[in-house]
């Protein structure tokens, strides 16, 4: 199950991996109508030293509790995220290059299952995300999390944000270039402002711990202006 040195172009989805663990190395996947690569249903492939370019959607889409490894791969000029994944999946990203994508980051949405740990990688762009009462999410030091406007993040289970003095975990606006660079790839056309993203809610069954975190430009606006982090009957601990 090895594809090496291939050029795959102009498919609908150029490569689809379902419930398998092949290796894809030293290849160029480009000009797909939809995703460059789609990985789903407990698939655990290795993608190494590839180029995923000019996709009509995100360069890579991961779902269905998959755990692929993405190593030294260039995601370039894709029309949505460099890559995106559902929160029941746990991809590993190592030494990748993101350039010219609509969003130069990795999108994540959906429902966390089990106990997930997010290692530091390129910026994560979080939209609708839920941690249910039987699950936990740990975010390790140095990770930058950027929020899309008008989307919700609800903690009904456990959230552990474990930054460090020299590597805090950052929650900020997609427009904030000071952390994680120009993730929305628009140069200086936009700048961050207060209320750019809706609150992170700690619900009545939830527990959240923030250790060495930076929270910027949150809180929503107008009627929905209720704080970047909103303890809505849960347990909240903030330190350092």
Is a pLDDT exceeding 80 seen at residue 31?
yes
Residue 209 in this model has a pLDDT that exceeds 60: yes
Instruction: Give the 3-state DSSP-derived string for the chain, with helices as H, strands as E and coil as C.
Output: CEEECCEEECCCCCEEEECCCCEEECCEEECCCCCCEEEECCCCCEEECCEEECCCCCCEEECCCCCCEEECCEEECCCCEEEEEECCCCCEEECCEEECCCEEEEEEEEECCCEEEECCCCCEEEEEEEECCCCEEEEECCCEEEECCCCCEEECCEEEEECECCECEEEEECCCCCCCCCCCCCCCCCCCCCCCECCEEECCCCEEEEECEEECCECCCHHHCCCCEEECCCEEEEEC
Q: What is the pLDDT of residue 73?
A: 98
Question: What's the pLDDT score for residue 222?
Answer: 58
How confident is the model at residue 225, as a pLDDT? 58
The answer, yes or no, to whether residue 55 has pLDDT greater than 90, is yes
Whether the per-residue pLDDT at 135 is higher than 60: the answer is yes
The predicted-structure confidence for 57-75, as pLDDT tens digits, reads as follows 999 999 999 999 999 999 9
pLDDT at 231 over 60: yes
Give the residue-averaged pLDDT of 153-157: 97
Evaluate if residue 220 carries a pLDDT over 90. no
Whether 3 has a pLDDT exceeding 80, the answer reads yes
């Amino acid at each position: 199950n090895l594809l090496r040195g291939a050029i795959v172009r102009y498919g609908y989805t150029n490569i689809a991996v379902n419930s398998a663990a092949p290796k894809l190395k030293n290849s160029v996947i480009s000009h797909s109508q939809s995703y460059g690569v789609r990985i789903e249903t407990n698939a655990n492939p290795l993608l190494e030293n590839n180029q995923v370019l000019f996709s009509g959607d995100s360069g890579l889409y991961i779902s269905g509790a998959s755990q692929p490894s993405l190593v030294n791969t260039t995601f370039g000029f894709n029309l949505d995220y460099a890559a995106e994944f559902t929160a029941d999946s746990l991809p590993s990203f190592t030494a990748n290059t993101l350039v010219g994508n609509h969003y130069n980051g990795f999108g994540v949405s959906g429902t966390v299952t089990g106990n997930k740990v997010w290692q530091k990688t390129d910026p994560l762009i979080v939209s609708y995300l839920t941690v249910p009462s039987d699950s936990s999410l740990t975010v390790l030091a140095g990770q930058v999390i950027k929020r899309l406007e008008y989307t919700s993040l609800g903690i009904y289970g456990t959230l552990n944000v474990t930054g460090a003095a020299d590597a805090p975990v950052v929650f900020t606006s997609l427009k904030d270039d000071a952390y994680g660079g120009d993730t929305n790839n628009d140069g200086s056309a936009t700048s961050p402002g207060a209320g750019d993203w809706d609150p992170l809610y700690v619900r009545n069954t939830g527990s959240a711990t923030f250790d060495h975190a930076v929270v910027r430009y949150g809180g929503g606006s107008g009627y929905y202006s209720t704080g970047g982090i909103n303890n809505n009957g849960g347990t909240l601990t903030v330190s350092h």
